[in-house]
Amino acid sequence: MTTNAEPLTVAVELKTVIDDNGQMEYNTVNETGQFYRKNNLDVIKYEETDDNGSPVKNLITIQPEKVNVKRLGALTMNQQFRMKETTENILKHPYGNIHMETFTETMEYRSITDTHEGQLELGYSVKMNGQDPRRHQLTLTIKKEVTQ
């Protein structure tokens, strides 16, 4: 698959597992989105609805050395992942702002092709407002949408 000016419609599945001192939290989001590629940059855009019924726009950019997750809506954040580095951002929530420190432990990405689904896996820990870190495992899978 080469550079595509037109977006490819994809099925997006985002699974997250959070380990908070043995207390496990699981979350799965399934949406339809768009995939773009330009040179060494892959972009996935999709919209989801939060627990209150408000739309949240998601923009995930993937480059060989970093991943960026930007969310806009009732919940706003711009989280960066760089291997073996700590990055910081502010999660803006209707109930206030939360300072986040993210340390990326693992990062693996296989881009979508004409014959294979794409997958991004991130292992990282997050400190929120200076509290003890919680371990996260994120798996993002993108598949070509089958048109009827």
Whether 74 maps to a domain, the answer reads: yes
Cα gap 37→50, rounded to integer Å: 27
Cα gap 109→60, rounded to integer Å: 12
Read off the pLDDT of residues 76-99 as tens digits, 9 standing for 90 and up. Answer: 999 999 999 999 999 998 889 999
Whether 148 maps to a domain, the answer reads: no
Whether 147 maps to a domain, the answer reads: no
Whether 87 maps to a domain, the answer reads: yes
The CATH number given to whatever domain includes residue 21 is 2.40.128.20
Whether 130 maps to a domain, the answer reads: yes
The stretch 115-127 carries a mean pLDDT of: 96
Whether 37 maps to a domain, the answer reads: yes
Parent domain of 105: 4-142
DSSP helix/strand/coil, 39: coil
Whether 112 maps to a domain, the answer reads: yes
Q: Decide: pTM greater than 0.75.
A: yes
Whether 19 maps to a domain, the answer reads: yes
Give the confidence band of 109 by pLDDT, cuts at 50, 70, 90: very high
- pLDDT greater than 50 at residue 2: no
Give the count of domains, the chain: 1
pLDDT for 65 equals 92
Who contacts 93 (Cβ-Cβ below 8 Å, separation ≥6)?
Answer: 74, 75
Mean model confidence pLDDT for the chain: 93
Percent of the chain scored above 70 by pLDDT?
Answer: 95
**Contact (CB, 8 A) for 46 and 34:** yes
Cα gap 124→121, rounded to integer Å: 10
Give the confidence band of 1 by pLDDT, cuts at 50, 70, 90: very low
Higher-scoring residue by pLDDT: 97, 147: 97
Read off the pLDDT of residues 32-86 as tens digits, 9 standing for 90 and up. Answer: 999 999 989 999 999 998 878 889 999 999 999 999 999 999 889 999 999 999 9
